[in-house]
Amino acid sequence: MSRPSIIPLLKKDHKEVNALFKEALATSDNAGDKRTQLFSQINEALTLHTRFEEENVYPLLLEQRKTKEDTLEAEEEHAQIKHLLSDIAETASDDERWKPKIMVLAEDVHHHVKEEEKAGGLFEELKKAVDDETLAALAEQFQASKNAAVS
Ligand SMILES: [Fe+2]
Ligand SMILES: [Fe+2]
């Protein structure tokens, strides 16, 4: 049996963050504590996820002529996402702009995830670019970085 690959783990992360966005967008301006808690989960998840991709996944795609440009674009999208995260971190959770800001972040993440997951997208290209051993090693590394973040 082949070892688990990094790709389903990254996709699972995408799904979990999407669920957190849905929850956050359903809150009202007086649900300050809930919003703070949800935002900190979103912030942690996206920070860990984008860092892992940038350090361990994207370099493999930057090496390939075919995927270089799309990967550079993905890195710029990460930068934009992080900019939005730090902006929201400074926004009071009862601010009328809190939800619109979360909405824009959710849309940006949604677009970015599509570019990674779509047919011919970065994840499919990653699968073509490296062997199963590498995908499995990345999965283990990702799991370890998640465990380290939790403890
Ligand atoms: Fe990404
Ligand atoms: Fe991703």
Instruction: Give the tens place of pLDDT for each residue, 87-133.
Output: 999 999 999 999 999 999 999 999 999 999 999 999 999 999 999 99
Ligand sitting nearest the alpha carbon of 16: 2
pLDDT the model gives residue 93: 95
Ligand sitting nearest the alpha carbon of 82: 1
CA–centroid distance, residue 49 to ligand 1 (Å): 7
CA–centroid distance, residue 53 to ligand 2 (Å): 7
CA–centroid distance, residue 30 to ligand 1 (Å): 32
pLDDT the model gives residue 116: 98
- In this prediction the pTM is 0.95
pLDDT exceeds 90 at position 46: yes
pLDDT exceeds 90 at position 151: no
Residue 145 neighbours by CB under 8 Å, 6+ apart: 48, 52
Ligand sitting nearest the alpha carbon of 78: 1
pLDDT the model gives residue 1: 59
**What's the 3-state SS for 87-134?**
HHHCCCCCCCCHHHHHHHHHHHHHHHHHHHHCCCCHHHHHHHHCCHHH
pLDDT exceeds 80 at position 40: yes
pLDDT the model gives residue 149: 85
Query: What's the whole-number mean pLDDT along residues 65-85?
Result: 97
CATH assignment of 6-150?
1.20.120.520
pLDDT the model gives residue 125: 97
pLDDT the model gives residue 150: 79
